[in-house]
Protein backbone atom coordinates (compact mmCIF):
# COMPACT_ATOMS: atom_id res chain seq x y z
CA UNK A 1 0.00 0.00 0.00
CA UNK A 2 1.37 3.44 -0.98
CA UNK A 3 2.38 5.38 2.17
CA UNK A 4 0.52 8.60 3.01
CA UNK A 5 -2.16 7.96 0.35
CA UNK A 6 -4.16 11.04 1.41
CA UNK A 7 -1.38 13.47 0.47
CA UNK A 8 0.22 11.38 -2.29
CA UNK A 9 0.10 13.10 -5.70
CA UNK A 10 -1.33 11.04 -8.54
CA UNK A 11 -1.41 12.27 -12.09
CA UNK A 12 0.20 12.39 -15.49
CA UNK A 13 2.67 14.53 -17.42
CA UNK A 14 2.96 16.26 -20.80
CA UNK A 15 5.29 18.80 -22.40
CA UNK A 16 4.50 21.88 -24.47
CA UNK A 17 6.03 20.97 -27.83
CA UNK A 18 4.62 17.46 -27.67
CA UNK A 19 0.99 18.47 -27.12
CA UNK A 20 0.32 22.18 -27.64
CA UNK A 21 0.75 22.41 -31.40
CA UNK A 22 2.17 25.18 -33.58
CA UNK A 23 5.19 26.06 -31.49
CA UNK A 24 6.62 27.78 -34.51
CA UNK A 25 9.24 29.88 -32.75
CA UNK A 26 11.45 27.14 -31.33
CA UNK A 27 14.45 25.22 -32.67
CA UNK A 28 12.60 21.89 -32.92
CA UNK A 29 9.93 23.38 -35.16
CA UNK A 30 12.56 24.93 -37.43
CA UNK A 31 14.46 21.67 -37.54
CA UNK A 32 11.31 19.64 -38.38
CA UNK A 33 10.65 21.92 -41.37
CA UNK A 34 14.12 21.71 -42.88
CA UNK A 35 15.23 18.16 -42.06
CA UNK A 36 14.47 15.54 -44.72
CA UNK A 37 12.44 12.70 -43.23
CA UNK A 38 11.67 14.53 -39.97
CA UNK A 39 8.08 14.24 -38.76
CA UNK A 40 6.44 17.64 -38.29
CA UNK A 41 4.77 18.30 -34.94
CA UNK A 42 2.18 20.54 -36.62
CA UNK A 43 -0.96 20.91 -34.50
CA UNK A 44 0.21 18.07 -32.19
CA UNK A 45 -2.77 17.50 -29.80
CA UNK A 46 -4.06 21.07 -30.16
CA UNK A 47 -3.76 21.18 -26.39
CA UNK A 48 -3.03 24.91 -26.58
CA UNK A 49 -6.73 25.31 -27.38
CA UNK A 50 -8.13 22.19 -25.74
CA UNK A 51 -6.39 22.33 -22.33
CA UNK A 52 -9.69 22.86 -20.46
CA UNK A 53 -11.12 19.66 -21.88
CA UNK A 54 -7.88 17.78 -21.12
CA UNK A 55 -7.68 18.90 -17.48
CA UNK A 56 -11.35 18.09 -16.91
CA UNK A 57 -10.58 14.62 -18.21
CA UNK A 58 -7.58 14.27 -15.88
CA UNK A 59 -9.82 15.17 -12.97
CA UNK A 60 -12.48 12.68 -14.09
CA UNK A 61 -9.74 10.06 -14.18
CA UNK A 62 -9.05 10.66 -10.49
CA UNK A 63 -5.82 12.69 -10.82
CA UNK A 64 -4.91 15.34 -8.26
CA UNK A 65 -1.69 16.54 -9.95
CA UNK A 66 -0.46 17.34 -13.43
CA UNK A 67 2.92 18.10 -14.94
CA UNK A 68 3.23 20.36 -17.98
CA UNK A 69 5.89 22.58 -19.50
CA UNK A 70 5.86 26.24 -20.45
CA UNK A 71 7.12 27.03 -23.92
CA UNK A 72 9.99 29.49 -23.49
CA UNK A 73 9.75 30.57 -27.14
CA UNK A 74 6.15 31.69 -26.63
CA UNK A 75 6.91 33.62 -23.44
CA UNK A 76 10.07 35.29 -24.75
CA UNK A 77 9.37 35.64 -28.42
CA UNK A 78 12.21 38.09 -28.83
CA UNK A 79 15.19 38.24 -26.55
CA UNK A 80 14.36 40.20 -23.40
CA UNK A 81 10.74 40.91 -24.40
CA UNK A 82 8.01 39.12 -22.46
CA UNK A 83 4.93 38.24 -24.44
CA UNK A 84 1.87 39.38 -22.46
CA UNK A 85 -0.45 37.19 -24.54
CA UNK A 86 1.50 34.04 -23.68
CA UNK A 87 1.74 34.99 -20.00
CA UNK A 88 -2.07 35.45 -19.92
CA UNK A 89 -2.53 32.13 -21.67
CA UNK A 90 -0.41 30.23 -19.17
CA UNK A 91 -2.22 32.00 -16.29
CA UNK A 92 -5.46 30.58 -17.66
CA UNK A 93 -3.84 27.15 -18.00
CA UNK A 94 -2.54 27.16 -14.41
CA UNK A 95 -5.81 28.55 -13.03
CA UNK A 96 -7.63 25.80 -14.85
CA UNK A 97 -5.42 23.21 -13.11
CA UNK A 98 -6.41 24.74 -9.75
CA UNK A 99 -10.09 24.73 -10.68
CA UNK A 100 -9.79 21.03 -11.41
CA UNK A 101 -8.01 20.30 -8.13
CA UNK A 102 -4.73 19.44 -9.86
CA UNK A 103 -1.46 20.38 -8.15
CA UNK A 104 0.93 21.80 -10.75
CA UNK A 105 4.42 20.60 -11.68
CA UNK A 106 5.72 23.20 -14.12
CA UNK A 107 8.76 22.51 -16.30
CA UNK A 108 10.66 25.49 -17.70
CA UNK A 109 12.83 23.65 -20.26
CA UNK A 110 11.67 20.47 -21.94
CA UNK A 111 14.06 20.00 -24.88
CA UNK A 112 13.06 23.08 -26.96
CA UNK A 113 14.80 26.46 -27.21
CA UNK A 114 13.58 29.77 -28.61
CA UNK A 115 14.98 30.34 -32.12
CA UNK A 116 16.73 33.54 -31.04
CA UNK A 117 18.63 31.53 -28.39
CA UNK A 118 19.51 28.76 -30.78
CA UNK A 119 20.91 31.33 -33.24
CA UNK A 120 23.20 32.49 -30.44
CA UNK A 121 24.57 28.97 -29.95
CA UNK A 122 21.92 27.59 -27.60
CA UNK A 123 23.31 25.92 -24.50
CA UNK A 124 26.88 26.09 -25.84
CA UNK A 125 26.82 29.83 -25.28
CA UNK A 126 28.11 30.79 -21.86
CA UNK A 127 25.43 33.50 -21.61
CA UNK A 128 22.59 30.95 -21.81
CA UNK A 129 22.51 30.00 -18.10
CA UNK A 130 21.95 33.67 -17.24
CA UNK A 131 19.27 34.06 -19.93
CA UNK A 132 17.54 30.93 -18.67
CA UNK A 133 17.60 32.20 -15.09
CA UNK A 134 16.14 35.53 -16.22
CA UNK A 135 13.28 33.63 -17.89
CA UNK A 136 12.77 31.62 -14.67
CA UNK A 137 12.60 34.84 -12.68
CA UNK A 138 10.04 36.31 -15.06
CA UNK A 139 7.89 33.18 -14.70
CA UNK A 140 8.20 33.38 -10.89
CA UNK A 141 7.05 37.00 -10.93
CA UNK A 142 4.13 36.54 -13.32
CA UNK A 143 2.95 32.98 -12.67
CA UNK A 144 4.69 31.89 -9.47
CA UNK A 145 1.55 32.20 -7.34
CA UNK A 146 0.01 29.35 -9.36
CA UNK A 147 2.98 26.95 -9.39
CA UNK A 148 3.23 24.21 -6.76
CA UNK A 149 6.39 22.42 -7.99
CA UNK A 150 9.05 23.76 -10.33
CA UNK A 151 11.02 21.55 -12.69
CA UNK A 152 13.74 23.77 -14.13
CA UNK A 153 15.11 21.33 -16.71
CA UNK A 154 13.74 18.06 -18.05
CA UNK A 155 16.21 15.20 -18.54
CA UNK A 156 19.42 17.20 -19.05
CA UNK A 157 21.46 14.05 -19.78
CA UNK A 158 19.01 12.90 -22.47
CA UNK A 159 18.99 16.34 -24.06
CA UNK A 160 22.75 16.61 -24.20
CA UNK A 161 23.27 13.04 -25.38
CA UNK A 162 20.74 13.25 -28.20
CA UNK A 163 21.62 16.78 -29.31
CA UNK A 164 25.41 16.97 -28.81
CA UNK A 165 26.68 13.40 -28.80
CA UNK A 166 24.41 11.15 -30.84
CA UNK A 167 23.57 14.15 -33.03
CA UNK A 168 20.04 12.99 -33.77
CA UNK A 169 18.18 15.98 -32.25
CA UNK A 170 18.74 19.64 -33.06
CA UNK A 171 21.33 21.11 -33.32
CA UNK A 172 22.72 17.67 -34.36
CA UNK A 173 26.24 18.20 -33.09
CA UNK A 174 28.65 15.39 -32.34
CA UNK A 175 31.34 16.74 -30.08
CA UNK A 176 32.64 15.64 -26.70
CA UNK A 177 33.71 19.20 -25.95
CA UNK A 178 30.24 20.56 -26.69
CA UNK A 179 28.62 17.73 -24.70
CA UNK A 180 30.65 18.52 -21.59
CA UNK A 181 30.16 22.25 -22.02
CA UNK A 182 26.37 21.95 -22.37
CA UNK A 183 26.11 19.79 -19.24
CA UNK A 184 28.11 22.41 -17.33
CA UNK A 185 25.98 25.25 -18.65
CA UNK A 186 22.72 23.45 -17.92
CA UNK A 187 23.83 22.73 -14.37
CA UNK A 188 24.80 26.37 -13.91
CA UNK A 189 21.49 27.44 -15.50
CA UNK A 190 19.61 25.28 -13.01
CA UNK A 191 21.54 26.71 -10.07
CA UNK A 192 20.94 30.31 -11.15
CA UNK A 193 17.26 29.61 -11.86
CA UNK A 194 16.92 27.97 -8.43
CA UNK A 195 18.27 31.13 -6.79
CA UNK A 196 16.08 33.47 -8.85
CA UNK A 197 12.91 31.49 -8.22
CA UNK A 198 13.63 31.39 -4.50
CA UNK A 199 14.37 35.11 -4.40
CA UNK A 200 10.88 35.82 -5.79
CA UNK A 201 9.11 32.90 -4.06
CA UNK A 202 11.07 31.84 -0.96
CA UNK A 203 8.77 28.87 -0.30
CA UNK A 204 9.00 27.48 -3.85
CA UNK A 205 9.72 23.77 -4.32
CA UNK A 206 12.27 23.53 -7.10
CA UNK A 207 13.94 20.53 -8.71
CA UNK A 208 14.64 18.86 -12.04
CA UNK A 209 13.18 15.80 -13.79
CA UNK A 210 16.17 13.51 -14.16
CA UNK A 211 16.02 10.56 -16.52
CA UNK A 212 17.26 7.46 -14.70
CA UNK A 213 18.14 4.02 -16.03
CA UNK A 214 18.50 0.93 -13.81
CA UNK A 215 21.98 -0.25 -14.94
CA UNK A 216 23.12 -3.74 -14.04
CA UNK A 217 26.13 -5.87 -15.02
CA UNK A 218 25.52 -8.71 -17.46
CA UNK A 219 27.47 -10.93 -15.07
CA UNK A 220 27.86 -10.25 -11.35
CA UNK A 221 31.09 -12.24 -11.51
CA UNK A 222 32.79 -10.04 -14.09
CA UNK A 223 34.60 -7.01 -12.71
CA UNK A 224 34.46 -5.25 -16.10
CA UNK A 225 30.67 -5.60 -16.33
CA UNK A 226 30.24 -4.32 -12.80
CA UNK A 227 32.55 -1.39 -13.48
CA UNK A 228 30.64 -0.49 -16.66
CA UNK A 229 27.29 -0.58 -14.82
CA UNK A 230 28.67 1.47 -11.91
CA UNK A 231 30.26 4.12 -14.14
CA UNK A 232 27.11 4.49 -16.24
CA UNK A 233 25.02 4.82 -13.08
CA UNK A 234 27.33 7.52 -11.77
CA UNK A 235 27.45 9.46 -15.03
CA UNK A 236 23.86 9.17 -16.19
CA UNK A 237 21.85 8.96 -12.96
CA UNK A 238 23.89 11.00 -10.49
CA UNK A 239 26.29 13.36 -12.29
CA UNK A 240 23.80 16.19 -12.78
CA UNK A 241 22.65 15.97 -9.15
CA UNK A 242 26.32 16.20 -8.18
CA UNK A 243 26.86 19.35 -10.26
CA UNK A 244 23.77 20.99 -8.78
CA UNK A 245 24.18 19.89 -5.16
CA UNK A 246 22.26 21.98 -2.63
CA UNK A 247 19.82 23.37 -5.19
CA UNK A 248 17.05 20.78 -5.06
CA UNK A 249 13.99 20.87 -2.84
CA UNK A 250 12.90 17.49 -4.18
CA UNK A 251 14.23 14.75 -6.45
CA UNK A 252 12.29 14.34 -9.71
CA UNK A 253 12.85 11.02 -11.51
CA UNK A 254 11.76 9.84 -14.97
CA UNK A 255 12.07 6.05 -15.06
CA UNK A 256 11.33 3.90 -18.13
CA UNK A 257 13.64 0.89 -18.39
CA UNK A 258 16.66 -1.05 -17.13
CA UNK A 259 19.87 -1.62 -19.08
CA UNK A 260 22.22 -4.60 -18.77
CA UNK A 261 25.85 -3.92 -19.68
CA UNK A 262 28.58 -6.32 -20.68
CA UNK A 263 32.23 -5.63 -21.50
CA UNK A 264 33.56 -7.28 -24.67
CA UNK A 265 37.16 -7.46 -25.86
CA UNK A 266 38.79 -7.22 -29.30
CA UNK A 267 37.88 -4.49 -29.75
CA UNK A 268 37.29 -3.36 -26.17
CA UNK A 269 33.73 -2.05 -25.87
CA UNK A 270 30.68 -1.94 -23.62
CA UNK A 271 27.63 -3.61 -25.06
CA UNK A 272 23.97 -3.44 -24.16
CA UNK A 273 22.85 -7.00 -23.52
CA UNK A 274 19.30 -8.20 -24.16
CA UNK A 275 16.90 -8.00 -21.23
CA UNK A 276 14.35 -10.81 -21.10
CA UNK A 277 10.59 -10.33 -20.77
CA UNK A 278 7.97 -7.94 -22.07
CA UNK A 279 8.81 -4.84 -24.10
CA UNK A 280 6.98 -1.67 -25.10
CA UNK A 281 6.12 -0.86 -28.72
CA UNK A 282 9.46 0.98 -28.89
CA UNK A 283 11.33 -2.17 -27.80
CA UNK A 284 12.05 -0.80 -24.31
CA UNK A 285 12.26 -3.62 -21.75
CA UNK A 286 9.64 -3.49 -19.00
CA UNK A 287 11.11 -4.12 -15.53
CA UNK A 288 9.37 -2.48 -12.60
CA UNK A 289 11.94 -3.80 -10.10
CA UNK A 290 14.45 -1.44 -11.73
CA UNK A 291 12.49 1.42 -10.19
CA UNK A 292 12.77 -0.06 -6.67
CA UNK A 293 16.51 -0.44 -7.27
CA UNK A 294 16.89 3.17 -8.45
CA UNK A 295 14.83 4.50 -5.54
CA UNK A 296 16.89 2.61 -3.02
CA UNK A 297 19.92 4.63 -4.21
CA UNK A 298 18.09 7.94 -4.49
CA UNK A 299 17.30 7.84 -0.75
CA UNK A 300 20.83 9.05 -0.24
CA UNK A 301 19.82 12.62 -1.17
CA UNK A 302 17.47 12.75 1.84
CA UNK A 303 14.84 14.67 -0.09
CA UNK A 304 11.22 13.96 -1.02
CA UNK A 305 11.04 12.07 -4.30
CA UNK A 306 8.45 12.45 -7.08
CA UNK A 307 8.24 10.15 -10.08
CA UNK A 308 7.90 12.89 -12.68
CA UNK A 309 7.55 10.42 -15.60
CA UNK A 310 7.00 6.70 -16.06
CA UNK A 311 5.16 5.02 -18.90
CA UNK A 312 5.34 3.10 -22.14
CA UNK A 313 4.37 3.17 -25.80
CA UNK A 314 1.50 0.69 -25.98
CA UNK A 315 -0.88 1.34 -28.87
CA UNK A 316 -3.24 -1.55 -28.13
CA UNK A 317 -3.19 -0.85 -24.38
CA UNK A 318 -2.41 -4.48 -23.68
CA UNK A 319 0.43 -3.83 -21.19
CA UNK A 320 -0.27 -0.40 -19.65
CA UNK A 321 -2.54 -1.44 -16.76
CA UNK A 322 -0.07 -4.07 -15.51
CA UNK A 323 2.78 -1.67 -16.10
CA UNK A 324 1.17 0.92 -13.83
CA UNK A 325 0.23 -1.64 -11.16
CA UNK A 326 3.74 -3.14 -11.12
CA UNK A 327 5.53 0.20 -10.98
CA UNK A 328 3.31 1.41 -8.15
CA UNK A 329 4.15 -1.80 -6.27
CA UNK A 330 7.83 -1.12 -6.95
CA UNK A 331 7.34 2.31 -5.36
CA UNK A 332 5.63 0.75 -2.33
CA UNK A 333 8.55 -1.60 -1.87
CA UNK A 334 10.97 1.33 -2.05
CA UNK A 335 8.87 3.23 0.50
CA UNK A 336 9.09 0.23 2.82
CA UNK A 337 12.85 0.46 2.41
CA UNK A 338 12.81 4.13 3.44
CA UNK A 339 12.50 6.06 0.15
CA UNK A 340 10.33 9.14 0.68
CA UNK A 341 8.26 8.92 -2.53
CA UNK A 342 5.38 11.40 -2.53
CA UNK A 343 3.92 11.33 -6.03
CA UNK A 344 3.61 9.48 -9.33
CA UNK A 345 3.05 11.16 -12.70
CA UNK A 346 2.41 8.80 -15.56
CA UNK A 347 3.81 9.62 -19.01
CA UNK A 348 1.59 10.62 -20.54
CA UNK A 349 -1.90 11.98 -20.11
CA UNK A 350 -2.32 12.07 -23.90
CA UNK A 351 -0.83 10.40 -26.94
CA UNK A 352 1.59 12.97 -28.30
CA UNK A 353 4.50 13.94 -30.55
CA UNK A 354 7.35 11.61 -29.56
CA UNK A 355 10.21 13.71 -31.03
CA UNK A 356 12.05 11.91 -33.89
CA UNK A 357 9.69 8.93 -33.50
CA UNK A 358 6.79 11.17 -34.51
CA UNK A 359 3.18 10.31 -33.67
CA UNK A 360 3.38 6.53 -33.99
CA UNK A 361 4.28 5.65 -30.38
CA UNK A 362 1.18 5.86 -28.21
CA UNK A 363 2.09 6.83 -24.66
CA UNK A 364 -1.31 8.20 -23.61
CA UNK A 365 -3.67 7.13 -20.87
CA UNK A 366 -5.97 8.93 -23.28
CA UNK A 367 -6.00 8.10 -26.97
CA UNK A 368 -5.95 11.04 -29.37
CA UNK A 369 -7.45 10.88 -32.84
CA UNK A 370 -5.11 13.24 -34.70
CA UNK A 371 -7.65 13.88 -37.46
CA UNK A 372 -10.57 14.94 -35.28
CA UNK A 373 -8.59 15.73 -32.08
CA UNK A 374 -11.14 13.60 -30.20
CA UNK A 375 -9.93 12.23 -26.86
CA UNK A 376 -10.83 8.76 -25.59
CA UNK A 377 -9.52 7.36 -22.30
CA UNK A 378 -8.04 3.89 -22.71
CA UNK A 379 -9.18 1.05 -20.41
CA UNK A 380 -5.87 1.35 -18.49
CA UNK A 381 -6.77 4.95 -17.57
CA UNK A 382 -9.72 3.54 -15.61
CA UNK A 383 -7.53 0.90 -13.99
CA UNK A 384 -5.22 3.71 -12.82
CA UNK A 385 -8.29 5.59 -11.57
CA UNK A 386 -9.46 2.55 -9.58
CA UNK A 387 -5.99 2.17 -8.01
CA UNK A 388 -6.03 5.82 -6.97
CA UNK A 389 -9.53 5.54 -5.49
CA UNK A 390 -8.64 2.36 -3.65
CA UNK A 391 -5.49 3.92 -2.18
CA UNK A 392 -7.42 6.95 -0.93
CA UNK A 393 -10.06 4.85 0.91
O1 LIG B 1 8.28 11.76 -24.59
C2 LIG B 1 9.40 11.69 -23.78
C3 LIG B 1 9.51 12.95 -22.93
O4 LIG B 1 9.57 14.10 -23.70
C5 LIG B 1 10.74 12.90 -22.06
N6 LIG B 1 10.84 11.64 -21.35
C7 LIG B 1 10.64 10.43 -22.08
C8 LIG B 1 9.36 10.50 -22.87
C9 LIG B 1 9.13 9.18 -23.64
O10 LIG B 1 10.18 8.97 -24.53
Each residue of 210-228: b (16+ CB within 10 Å) or e?
bbbbbbbbbeeeeebbbeb
Residue 63 is predicted with a pLDDT of: 98
Interatomic CA distance for residues 345 and 11, integer angstroms: 5
Residues with CB under 6 A from ligand 1: 15, 18, 155, 254, 309, 347, 354
The architecture (CATH level 2) of 9-392 comes to: Alpha-Beta Barrel (3.20)
What are the residue boundaries of the structural domains of the chain, listed by start? 9-392
Q: How far apart are CA 99 and CA 91, in angstroms?
A: 12
Global pTM value:
0.98
- Chain mean position to CA 320: 18
Report the nearest-CA residue for atom 9 of ligand 1: 354
DSSP 363-375: --SEEE-TTT--E
How many angstroms separate the alpha carbon of residue 354 from the centre of ligand 1? 7
DSSP β-ladder status, 341-347 and 305-309: parallel
Q: At what angle do helices 379-392 and 320-336 cross, to 10 degrees?
A: 30
Closest ligand 1 atom to residue 352 Cα is 1
Q: Whose CA is nearest to atom 10 of ligand 1?
A: 354
Q: Say how far residue 157 (Cα) sits from the centre of its chain.
A: 11
How many angstroms is it from 242 CA to the middle of ligand 1?
A: 23
**Measuring from atom 2 of ligand 1, which residue has the nearest CA?**
354
Start-to-end C-alpha separation, the chain: 11
Ligand 1 center to residue 281 CA distance, Å? 14
Minimal CA–CA distance to 296: which of 329, 327, 341? 341
Q: How many angstroms separate the alpha carbon of residue 202 from the centre of ligand 1? A: 30
What does the pLDDT read at residue 6? 86
Segment-wise mean pLDDT, segments of 10 residues, the chain, 393 residues: 90 99 98 97 98 98 98 98 98 98 99 98 98 98 98 98 98 98 99 99 98 98 98 98 98 98 95 97 98 96 98 98 98 97 98 98 99 98 98 90
| Residue partners of 35: CB distance under 8 A and separation at least 6 | none
Amino acid sequence: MIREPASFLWGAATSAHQVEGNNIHNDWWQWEQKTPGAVKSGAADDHYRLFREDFALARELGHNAHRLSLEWSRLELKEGQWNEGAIDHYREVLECLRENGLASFVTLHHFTNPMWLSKRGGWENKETPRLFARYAEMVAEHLGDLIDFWVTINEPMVYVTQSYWRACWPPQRHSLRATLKVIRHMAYGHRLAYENIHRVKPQAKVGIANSVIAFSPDSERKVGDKLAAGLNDWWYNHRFFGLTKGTHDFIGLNYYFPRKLGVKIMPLRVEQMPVSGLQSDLGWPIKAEGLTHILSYMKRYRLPIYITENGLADADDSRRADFIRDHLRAIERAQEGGADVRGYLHWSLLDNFEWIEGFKPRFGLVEVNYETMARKPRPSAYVYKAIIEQARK
